[in-house]
Structure 1
Amino acid sequence: MKQPLEGIRILDLSRVYAAPAGSMILADLGAEVTRIEHPNGMDSTRDWGPYINGQSTYYLCANRNKKSMILNLKDEADLQILKELLVDADVIVENFKTGDMEKMGLGYEECKKLNPRIIYCSVTGFGHTGPLAAEPGFDPVIQAMSGLMDVTGAIDGEPTKVGIPIADILTAHYVAISILAALRMRDFTNEGQSIDLSLLDVQISNLANVASSYLNGGTISKRLGNSHNNVAPYQVFHCSDGPLMVCVGSDRQFEKFCKMIDREEWVLDERYKTNTRRKENEGELVEKIAEILIQKTRDEWIEQLQKYKIPGGRVNTIAEALEQPQIIARNMIGEIEHPQYGKVKFVKNPMQFSGLNIDYKLAPPILGEHTNQFLPLTSERKNG
């Protein structure tokens, strides 16, 4: 089946997660993505366990559907090979520190001279401007500086980072979105452009309602554990066999929730009639609900939540999450044959189209696995 990005060539000079995961999204959609890697393997995720047959499972999660070519960009001959590849490329993705690509003669202005249609996507911790432009920025640092950690964690606990590299993950999405937008713009202008993505900018832009509350009302959100800043009841409750997330998002849902737990008189109670009043009296309301929900199992309550169309779900372990029937029914777990490590399982791209099947053709590449496929092409260019 024809893929939407078929024919788009991407040179991926990035490492770790944010940028590589972004180019992987584009690779899933059919782009030809080639990782340009140092002969010594400078991507630290290759060294992060746990491992499967000696291969990092962290590396595996961000690099499917790509090829790998070894080039030492500090070597003049290898640098020239990259520039030859650049002439026929559509996109460059890189996450070197600000200024490093320019030092190698690979900044946007230099690349633009070789290929005016090139789309040049740079990913850094803080962007190419501002007082922190030259500083390194890893995901936990960004979570801290963006204020995310200050609103995450137990009420009486310390600021807490999210359990996944959320700033990197969100940035990966913006890598894909911005490149797609630039490709579409190129259709109109026949020119490429540079994209400057900052992890801090991305995480700040994703503070959502927390940022809006402060900017428009001066309200500084606090850590609320598993509760919500603006809605109640909207949190984790404990059942007889474990934790359950319950989200009563409107007054109408609260009416149904009260019926579900046999407390219909609460609907007319002035303390609970509206979300604003429920939030004001959240402590006592939550205590009452907790006394009720602890009396049954999670599955018993989930059956009732589904009956009354109230959002709720088990607080799963990772194993439970990946093995739950809904995920199996959606066919979200894939498997691909790796030339060196055997069968590798992965979580599929979540985009499901009516007229497109995403093709998972290439396992995450071994360092330099496809180098020899590209060198003849550069030789042909010289001879031609």
Structure 2
Amino acid sequence: MQNTTRHAPLAGLRIVEVSAFIAAPLGAMTLAQLGAEVIRIDPIGGNIDYRRWPLAANGNSIYWASLNKSKQSVTLALDTPEGQELASAIMCAPGEGAGIVLTNLPAKGWMSYEALSKRRTDLIMMRLTGNFDGSAAVDYTVNCASGFPIATGSDRAPVNHVLPAWDIAAGLYLSTGVLSAERVRSREGCGQEVTLALSDVMLATVGNLGYIGDVQVNGVSREPIGNHLYGAFGRNFATSDGREVMVAAISNRQWKALGCATALAERFEMIGPLMDVDLSTEGGRFHARRAIAAVLEPWFAARTVNEVSERFDGSGVLWGVYRDFRQLVEEDPRCSVENPMFEQVDHPGIGRVLTPRTPLSFAGTQAPRAAIAPTLGEDTRGVLEGLLGLTPAKVDELRERGIVGQA
């Protein structure tokens, strides 16, 4: 079920994915949505993530279908020498843009870079590990050490986030790593193994955002401040109809727009002298955040979210409405076919779902349309016959012996 488009940015690349969970499937799907041919190989019956929640009423995983769009699916008995040989042959099959493997599973023995590169010397392997020493870690065990759960909330009790941020960031790093290694290969003709540790993704982010430097330079660790925006003014406010909105004033223009739209500018001006802070600066507004919020709270409490929208839309105020997932789908016009990123797509075994293509928009090339995920193993025969040259009779014989899955 190849979903490439001739003019897609990554048309001509072939990536073989052996993975589970979020980071590696997301990295491979990112490449597939840009036009690369991605073949995902799973054990017969599916990998550990095949039935992960959320599920459709029939037990099919909406999660799995959502993270494997635009891919081909092959199932093999990877615990047998014959299944391993077929997988190796697919990974090392000839082709100018082929010979690229992406995995977050232990790459040992037959699936090691050393073994596969003997079959194809220009092989690229992009491999995700837990920690830099190769030991295991997942998003949740990495996140607990990041400092963010302690800095989230109103006290020092840790708050685990719902968003698997490190898996998502790692997935995008994986796609960048594949393209970087392929760039080297196209320029110099050599393959290589590229590794990425999930914990290093977290550590790089903490460092890049300045929190490591804050500890070492200033001797401080960011404390939890509830829903206030760190270093500027921003917070959630309740409206009269039971909704919540987020308001942020980072720039002076946004700060002035907030005062004008609420007609509270004069009251805001009184706060600076009283607290001896300069409200024309981000830091000044941060230090006065509670006083500013106290002025704004009754203003929001007296208005519905629609009335707030009438005041704020087009005013220059930076704001948004809090929504649960249902409200996002049912209320937000950005989460609809009005947004060119989305299409309504019928997914086998799942149903009709609003489905995103890549969020990247290219002016000069055509990205593939939103696509469905394959059913598990549906491309096994096509890959074995088309890519490896096996005869239909041979594929049937392998299926009867339990070496290949659906064929």
Shared fold, TM over 0.5: yes
Could you say which residue in structure 2 is the equivalent of 1:205? 204
CA deviation map 1:212-249 (0-9, x unaligned): 433443331122221122112x1111121211100000
Could you say which residue in structure 1 is the equivalent of 2:8? 3
Q: Which amino acid aligns with 1:8?
A: L
Could you say which residue in structure 1 is the equivalent of 2:215? 214
Could you say which residue in structure 1 is the equivalent of 2:388? 378
CA deviation map 1:248-293 (0-9, x unaligned): 0023432332222223333363335333333223222221221222
Specify the SS of the correspondent of 1:307. Answer: coil
CA–CA distance in 2 between the matches of 1:330 and 1:91? 33
Could you say which residue in structure 2 is the equivalent of 1:119? 124
The answer on whether the counterparts of 2:9 and 2:34 sit within 8 Å (CA) in structure 1 is: yes
Could you say which residue in structure 2 is the equivalent of 1:38? 43
Deviates more, 1:314-323 or 1:16-25: 314-323
What pairs up with 1:245-260 in 2 under 5 angstroms?
A: 245-260=246-261
Could you say which residue in structure 2 is the equivalent of 1:314? 321
Alpha-carbon shift at residue 343 of structure 1 (Å): 3.8
Could you say which residue in structure 2 is the equivalent of 1:60? 65
TM-score by length of 1: 0.88
CA–CA distance in 1 between the matches of 2:341 and 2:212? 33
Q: Which amino acid aligns with 1:61?
A: S
The answer on whether the counterparts of 1:112 and 1:118 sit within 8 Å (CA) in structure 2 is: yes
Could you say which residue in structure 1 is the equivalent of 2:302? 295
CA–CA distance in 2 between the matches of 1:361 and 1:282? 43
Q: How many residues align?
A: 371
Which residue of 22, 39, 46 maps to 1:17?
22
The answer on whether the counterparts of 2:17 and 2:38 sit within 8 Å (CA) in structure 1 is: yes
Say if 2:283 is the partner of 1:276.
yes
Could you say which residue in structure 2 is the equivalent of 1:355? 364
CA deviation map 1:333-368 (0-9, x unaligned): 323344555544423321122233332475212221
CA–CA distance in 1 between the matches of 2:129 and 2:345? 31
Specify the SS of the correspondent of 2:364. Answer: coil
CA deviation map 1:163-194 (0-9, x unaligned): 22221111111111111121112221111221
What pairs up with 1:11-160 in 2 under 5 angstroms?
A: 11-88=16-93, 89-96=98-105, 100-102=106-108, 104-127=109-132, 129=133, 133-134=134-135, 136-152=136-152, 154-156=153-155, 158-160=157-159
Could you say which residue in structure 2 is the equivalent of 1:166? 165
Could you say which residue in structure 1 is the equivalent of 2:176? 177
CA–CA distance in 2 between the matches of 1:294 and 1:210? 35
Q: Which amino acid aligns with 1:236?
A: N
The answer on whether the counterparts of 1:69 and 1:370 sit within 8 Å (CA) in structure 2 is: yes
The answer on whether the counterparts of 1:302 and 1:313 sit within 8 Å (CA) in structure 2 is: no
Deviates more, 1:60-69 or 1:142-151: 142-151
Alpha-carbon shift at residue 9 of structure 1 (Å): 1.1
Q: 1:69 to 1:175 in 2, by over 3 A?
A: same
Q: Which amino acid aligns with 1:373?
A: G
CA–CA distance in 1 between the matches of 2:214 and 2:316? 29
CA deviation map 1:190-223 (0-9, x unaligned): 1122121121111222232444433443331122
Q: 1:320 to 1:123 in 2, by over 3 A?
A: same
Structure 1, unaligned stretches of length 5 or more? none
Could you say which residue in structure 2 is the equivalent of 1:223? 224
The answer on whether the counterparts of 2:56 and 2:350 sit within 8 Å (CA) in structure 1 is: no
The answer on whether the counterparts of 2:7 and 2:367 sit within 8 Å (CA) in structure 1 is: no
Could you say which residue in structure 2 is the equivalent of 1:267? 269
Specify the SS of the correspondent of 1:51. Answer: coil
CA–CA distance in 2 between the matches of 1:259 and 1:325? 27
Specify the SS of the correspondent of 2:121. Answer: coil
CA deviation map 1:96-137 (0-9, x unaligned): 1xxx322x322112222222222111112213x2xxx22x22
The answer on whether the counterparts of 1:86 and 1:115 sit within 8 Å (CA) in structure 2 is: no
Could you say which residue in structure 2 is the equivalent of 1:325? 333
Q: Which amino acid aligns with 1:51?
A: A
The answer on whether the counterparts of 1:64 and 1:360 sit within 8 Å (CA) in structure 2 is: no
CA–CA distance in 2 between the matches of 1:75 and 1:62? 27
Q: Which amino acid aligns with 1:367?
A: L
Specify the SS of the correspondent of 1:37. Answer: strand
Could you say which residue in structure 2 is the equivalent of 1:365? 374
CA–CA distance in 1 between the matches of 2:180 and 2:269? 48
CA–CA distance in 1 between the matches of 2:24 and 2:186? 24
Specify the SS of the correspondent of 1:23. Answer: helix
CA–CA distance in 2 between the matches of 1:352 and 1:244? 29
CA–CA distance in 1 between the matches of 2:216 and 2:252? 27
Q: Which amino acid aligns with 1:172?
A: G
Instruction: Give the RMSD, CA atoms, in angstroms.
Output: 2.4
Could you say which residue in structure 1 is the equivalent of 2:403? none
The answer on whether the counterparts of 2:343 and 2:370 sit within 8 Å (CA) in structure 1 is: no
Q: 1:277 to 1:194 in 2, by over 3 A?
A: same
Q: Which amino acid aligns with 1:348?
A: R
Specify the SS of the correspondent of 1:65. Answer: coil
TM-score by length of 2: 0.84
The answer on whether the counterparts of 1:255 and 1:267 sit within 8 Å (CA) in structure 2 is: no
Structure 2, unaligned stretches of length 5 or more? 1-5, 395-407
